[in-house]
Amino acid sequence: MIIRDFNEIIESERDRVVSDAKWTSVRMLLASDGMGFSFHVTFLEAGSEHEFEYKNHFESVYCMQGTGSITDLATGETHPIKAGVMYALDKHDRHILRAEEELVMACCFNPPVTGTEVHQADGSYAAPEQKPELEEA
């Protein structure tokens, strides 16, 4: 059984708290936990916009707090995001996530992330067996 306290992680386990441009993710479960998926609580800053395409991972996301929208770049469809809404990127969907208010999201990734990933230039994480490509300066 794995027991983790969110508050203890944000206070002491810096290797499980990842930040990037206008978002922070608290990694509650990682690949090393052996569950077959990773679980994160992610905070997206109000007014921020993020373009992602997890072409090597599937992701499901549940909004716990805040408002925003998600746009599927393949179809152009935009859907509102608010507390209680879930979306799943079942086709490695390239998308834009916008936070009108701070969004607090519960996220699961399959395959699980290791906690050391960084977003590549195209908005994806490298496949687990790949080394990340470096962005041009």
Q: How many helices (H) and strands (E) does the chain have?
A: 1, 10
- Residue numbers of the domain that contains 77: 15-110
Tens digits of pLDDT across the chain (137 residues): 999 999 999 888 777 888 887 999 999 999 999 999 999 999 999 999 999 998 889 999 999 999 999 999 999 999 999 999 999 999 999 999 999 999 999 999 999 988 776 666 766 676 766 444 444 43
Total domains in the fold of the chain: 1
Q: Is residue 92 part of a domain?
A: yes
CATH of the domain at 47: 2.60.120.10
Domain assignment present for residue 85? The answer is yes
Q: For the chain, what's the residue count?
A: 137
